[in-house]
Structure 1
Amino acid sequence: PPSIEKRYYISSLPAIALRIANAIRKHWKIENNLHRQLDVNFMEDGCVANTGNAAENLATFRRLALNSLGSGKGLLARRKKAGWDENYLTEIVRKFFIKNF
């Protein structure tokens, strides 16, 4: 038999079902893409860090790295290059700070 799941959302949008459904779909499309990027490129789901704040700290650094390197095609190659080429890594970090601070 099919299962039924209930979800509850808080919103200031007028209660128009189609508008709310579209907003929820857009939210999860963005959310799922982010988690896919983190798992595929940083193996986030396989992380076994669970002592103290380790998991949260590593998640913060993964998101920082993803934001610095950019998403999309070639992310894994850029990540590997940053690990091997100190000049490339320095340039990525410099651009990130110029852009965000």
Structure 2
Amino acid sequence: MPWQTSKREVKRGRDITWTLRAMPASEWVVEQWPGSATIIAVRSHGFREGKPTDETRRYVTSLRTGADALLRHARQRWSIENSWHWVLDVPLREDTHRYREENGVQILATLRSLAINALRLDGIWSITEGIATLAHNSKGLLRLLGWREPAAEQHSG
């Protein structure tokens, strides 16, 4: 018999119910993925900004815990994933880029990650504000990337 739990969240234009069903991993699953303990299905359904949504995600985990804790873990994982993808999609407009060359796509993805990480290492958490601040500040951008101006030379005369 699977374990089950649900949680409803109403905020920021969303009314979503998350339902987790979990069961012990079968012998076959454990053979395929050693260390597996639990099979999980998380269904999120409801409304986002007035539009209906219904998604199911499935996981295999080594965690041996109750349904409530498993649901918390699954939601935290997607919260992290969604915040990373939001940064790529909104401020950096990754989805609007039409570059088709394979190496170019990989290079641009690496540069976007570099930009995000450099801003965050500098304490700038709003990527939109960081881009706006540094867009016309070449010295600030170079400083962020680790470049330091050479010390002024002293001339004796």
Q: TM-score range by the shorter chain?
A: 0.7 to 0.9
Deviations 1:3-34 (A, max 9, x none): 97543312110052222111110010111111
Structure 1 residue 78 displacement after superposition: 2.4
More helix by share: 1
TM-score (norm: length of structure 1): 0.74
Q: Which has the larger radius of gyration?
A: 2
Q: Percent identity?
A: 30
Aligned to 2:72: 22
5+ long unaligned stretches in structure 2: 1-51, 148-157
Task: Call closer, same or farther: CA 1:38–1:87 in 2, change over 3 Å.
Answer: same
Quote the Cα distance in structure 1 between the aligned partners of 2:118 and 2:101. 26
2:76 is paired with a residue whose SS is helix
- Greater relative CO, 1 or 2 (CA 8 Å, sep 6+): 1
TM-score (norm: length of structure 2): 0.50
More strand by share: 2
Quote the Cα distance in structure 1 between the aligned partners of 2:62 and 2:143. 42
Cα RMSD (Å) of the superposition? 2.5
1:10 is paired with a residue whose SS is strand
